[in-house]
Structure 1
Amino acid sequence: MNFGQVLTAMVTPFDQNGDIDYHAARTLINHLIANGSDGLVVAGTTGESPTLTSNEKLDLFRFVAKVADGRATVIAGTGSNNTRASIDLTRQAEATGVDAIMLTTPYYNKPSQEGLYHHYKAIAQATSLPVMLYNVPGRSAVTIAPETIIQLSEINNIVSVKEASGNLDAMTDIISKTSDDFTLYSGDDSLTLPVLAIGGNGIVSVSSHIIGGYLKEMVQSYQNGNVQRAALIHQDMLPTMKALFAQPSPSPVKAALNMIGIYVGDVRLPMVPLSIEEKKQLQQMLPPNKITDAG
């Protein structure tokens, strides 16, 4: 299923009390849609999902769907390492107006491939919404094997995967052995162009908060056959992408948004804001035409 070319793993704005700031969220949603985002992934890791309650997630799903109002696909992060809890949250998310759900690989309990298959199958069968799998071994300590993803793709509403394994060979295997309407998105900003080259659909991005327009131009340039232009954009934007992951995410991207005047507050513990020195280093790596007074 094609959710668009550039999907943003949206941060969750917080106010000074650490509560969700819906006024800031509205500004952020409009900023992202105006700057290249075809879709928004809500309450994923970048949205600090481990620190959000189920009620906060549902309120956020409802709010983002309402503000986006069809201008962008809204994908709700409802996955966890608790299958029953994921099913419950997914069923409740259906009523919020979101377009699809994203299910992260179960973390910490380290299931087998058989366990992964049945985890995803159980959640998918409990919803009518399209499902995007999320393979992120760097955070989950478990990799969904290509064979498991291929098998899961045969379930009607499992329609896509966000691949953050960094393994282009595995991604090629998935793309070549799934149906044409099953889509693969890079989960690593810096691999967007290589993933497009092997047949991927686009990117679920963090850096699109800051350079979404550039990412969109890069994807479209590649797809229109202007590979040289796409490569130049990739080369120019790579330092910014790397800077946005120089410290644990989403602390850098939240700091960068605050720098460009899209105020999203700080992170919740156990994440911590960037130090003054880290902010200075980050600011030097942002595109100059995007910088305003960093305060």
Structure 2
Amino acid sequence: MNFGQLITAMVTPFDEQGEIDFPAARNLINHLIENGSDALVVAGTTGESPTLTNEEKVNLFEFTVQVAGGRFPVIAGTGSNNTRESIQLTQQAEAAGVDGIMLVTPYYNKPSQEGMYQHFKTIAQASSLPIMLYNIPGRSSVNMSPDTIIRLADIPNIVAVKEASGDLDAMADIIEHTPADFALYSGDDGLTLPVLSIGGAGVVSVSAHIIGPEMKTMMSHFNSGRIREASTLHRRMLPIMKELFAAPNPSPVKAALNLEGVAVGGVRLPMLPLTDVQLSSLNRVLHGQDTILI
């Protein structure tokens, strides 16, 4: 399964009552695809998965598949720290027609490397869908080692990893020792170009909500050997990328979308909207967005 280079981890739009706003979701999905996204991750951390019920997640999977209409892959976030629950949600996502699933490392209960291996292997055996692993030690408190990821890559339907450890040496090790068709994606927007340079497949991005066309242009430059142009654009995008993580994700990117006229509503507790000071800073950075294209 080829998920493409630029995968957006989509926010979940909410209405004024804090319920999923499906008309706004339709508009957002089309906005993202029109602005360069090759695929979407639905109900990941950026989609506020910890605050969505499983019923809400399944409804969102079904809706996104319907809007996609086969135009682009839909990747469902079905991972948790409960193996049985992840299997159940994965099977519901498969029934909803998604094209792949993303499984985060089990958080809070802090399994061993062997425990993580068995967790992912057991879920993979319960589904025929292609699976993207998601290593994010900053949120899950456990780091999946390169050796564990390399072992998991031998399982036929585990086809990719979203690597958000920030460790380029570990990523190079994974790329070097996994099959040629196993894809490593950066989990950090600011490392997109460095990850491409060591053989990565692309990025699972938050910033693509706002600067998708620019990120796609940077990747196109890199792919065609225009390294100087790619690196210049990368550096010019960094202030926006940093600002979109100046407060806990996804509060800044939701605020940015609202400022840009793509209504997605607010966030659910325990996330908070940006303060006036944070919103003012975000607005200043976004006003310089038009100058980053080359």
- Deviation digits for residues 217-241 of structure 1 (CA, Å, limit 9, x no counterpart): 1111101100011111101100000
Match of 2:262 in 1: 262
Amino acid at match of 2:175: I
Identity, in percent, stands at 66
Contact 1:240–1:287 (CA under 8 A) maintained in structure 2 = no
Match of 2:84 in 1: 84
Match of 2:181 in 1: 181
Contact 1:163–1:185 (CA under 8 A) maintained in structure 2 = yes
Amino acid at match of 2:10: M
SS in 2 for 1:4: coil
Q: Any gaps of 5 or more consecutive residues in structure 2?
A: none
- Report which stretch shifted further, 224-233 or 43-52: 224-233
SS in 2 for 1:286: helix
SS in 1 for 2:286: coil
Residue 57 (structure 2) pairs with residue 57 (structure 1): yes
Q: How does 1:1-295 map to 2 (within 5 A)?
A: 1-286=1-286, 288=288
CA distance in 1, matches of 2:127, 2:101: 9
Amino acid at match of 1:248: P
- Report which stretch shifted further, 279-288 or 184-193: 279-288
CA distance in 2, matches of 1:279, 1:152: 42
Contact 1:188–1:205 (CA under 8 A) maintained in structure 2 = yes
CA deviation after TM superposition for structure 1 residue 32, in Å: 0.1
CA distance in 1, matches of 2:234, 2:139: 25
CA deviation after TM superposition for structure 1 residue 167, in Å: 0.3
SS in 1 for 2:233: helix
Amino acid at match of 2:271: M
Amino acid at match of 1:203: V
CA deviation after TM superposition for structure 1 residue 2, in Å: 2.5
Amino acid at match of 2:198: I
CA distance in 2, matches of 1:23, 1:212: 21
CA deviation after TM superposition for structure 1 residue 118, in Å: 0.1
**TM-score with structure 2 setting the length:** 0.97
SS in 2 for 1:102: strand
Match of 1:293 in 2: none
SS in 2 for 1:160: strand
CA distance in 1, matches of 2:206, 2:283: 16
Residue correspondences, number: 291
CA distance in 2, matches of 1:115, 1:10: 29
Amino acid at match of 1:4: G
Amino acid at match of 2:203: I
CA distance in 2, matches of 1:16, 1:216: 33
Contact 1:252–1:274 (CA under 8 A) maintained in structure 2 = yes
Q: Give me the CA root mean square deviation.
A: 1.1
**TM-score with structure 1 setting the length:** 0.97
CA deviation after TM superposition for structure 1 residue 179, in Å: 0.5
SS in 1 for 2:65: helix
